[in-house]
Amino acid sequence: MNLRAAPNFRAVWAIYRVEMARAFRTVLQSIISPVISTSLYFVVFGSAIGSRITEIDGISYGAFIVPGLIMLSLLTQSISNASFAIYFPKFVGSIYELLSAPVSYLEIVIAYVGGAATKSIILGLIILATASLFVPLQIEHPFWMLAFLILTAVTFSLFGFIIGIWAKSFEQLQLVPLLIVTPLTFLGGSFYSIHMLPGIWKTITLFNPVVYLISGFRWSFYGKADVSVGISLGMTLVFLAACIAIVAWIFRTGYRLRN
């Protein structure tokens, strides 16, 4: 066997480690800020609104919004972590080193997406821990809870990676998250059950992929869901497959990476 053609695991590890180190360097931004914002959500939504809506599907409102809150951060952080991680070296030019290194595209994706996903999963767990200080939580299906957490983090890190490669400016980098992802997440049933919406809106909502993520995730906590869990899982996998397909196409064509 030609040893030199063997996978370059050291490169994957080197990239992954640098990405994690970046998170620790900016520990304040990476950890403290989501903790603060989650706490604020609880104060505003949990207490103010929760005093009016006491229960949804037999779950206290404060507890009801926890899975949605975690998903909200997971989505936005996965996208911003991964898109920034690959956009930044493009922007400062240090990407030359990555392109000149004996690394395959697959290894590049695994390292960057792995790093971004790890960070957002840790973040999701921190939010979960923070939330447990405010409301009593129950997790009926811990395995599925973790499965949804990891699947979503990986999927949206891939999505962020695509955005980071596509973006030619910082504006473009923020455009997709701002114009598409944030609205979809807020309208994705984080703070309400879609059964509470009037008929036509309920139908429209079913076209929002985020609904399926949040619904499935919430099911893993309380065993209750807006749409069936099978469909949730299926939709998540479809989105994951779509992202993988796009990344594969990008790398086959060298799109926006190699001139």
Partner 1 sequence: MPSILSISGVSKTYATGFTALKEVNLDIQRGEIFALLGPNGAGKTTLISIVCGIVNRSSGTVTVDGHDINKDYRAARSLIGLVPQELTIDAFESVWATVNYSRGLFGKPANPAFVEKVLRDLSLWDKKDAKAITLSGGMKRRLMIAKALSHEPRILFLDEPTAGVDVELRQDMWEMVRRLREDGVTIILTTHYIEEAEAMADRVGVINRGEIILVEGKAELMRKLGRKQMTAELRAPLASVPDGLSHYALELSPDGTQLTYTYDNQSDRPGVASLIRDLEAAGIQFRDLDTKNSSLEEIFVNLLRQKP
- Binding residues for partner 1, rule: CB under 8 A, are 2, 4-6, 8, 10-11, 13-15, 17-18, 21-22, 25, 88-89, 92-94, 96-104, 254, 258-259
Sequential DSSP letters for 61-123: HHHHHHHHHHHHHHHHHHHHHHHHHHHHHHHHSTHHHHHHSS--HHHHHHHHHHHHHHHHHHH
CB of 127 to partner 1, least distance (A): 26
Which residues does 15 contact at the CB level (< 8 Å), separation at least 6? Answer: 98, 108, 111, 112, 115
CB of 95 to partner 1, least distance (A): 8
CB of 103 to partner 1, least distance (A): 7
- Identify which of residues 89 and 223 has a Cβ nearer to partner 1 in the complex: 89
Report the alpha-carbon distance of residue 247 to residue 250 in Å, rounded: 5
- Identify which of residues 52 and 252 has a Cβ nearer to partner 1 in the complex: 252
What distances in angstroms separate CA 241 from CA 38, 58, 153, 244, one per listed residue?
30, 35, 14, 5
- Identify which of residues 103 and 227 has a Cβ nearer to partner 1 in the complex: 103
- Identify which of residues 186 and 255 has a Cβ nearer to partner 1 in the complex: 255
Report the alpha-carbon distance of residue 210 to residue 68 in Å, rounded: 10
Report the alpha-carbon distance of residue 216 to residue 222 in Å, rounded: 10
- Identify which of residues 107 and 226 has a Cβ nearer to partner 1 in the complex: 107
CB of 256 to partner 1, least distance (A): 10
CB of 70 to partner 1, least distance (A): 29
Report the alpha-carbon distance of residue 125 to residue 69 in Å, rounded: 12
- Residues pairing with 59 in the sheet: 56
CB of 138 to partner 1, least distance (A): 41
Report the alpha-carbon distance of residue 10 to residue 105 in Å, rounded: 14
Report the alpha-carbon distance of residue 117 to residue 155 in Å, rounded: 9
CB of 94 to partner 1, least distance (A): 5
Report the alpha-carbon distance of residue 199 to residue 190 in Å, rounded: 18
- Identify which of residues 5 and 200 has a Cβ nearer to partner 1 in the complex: 5
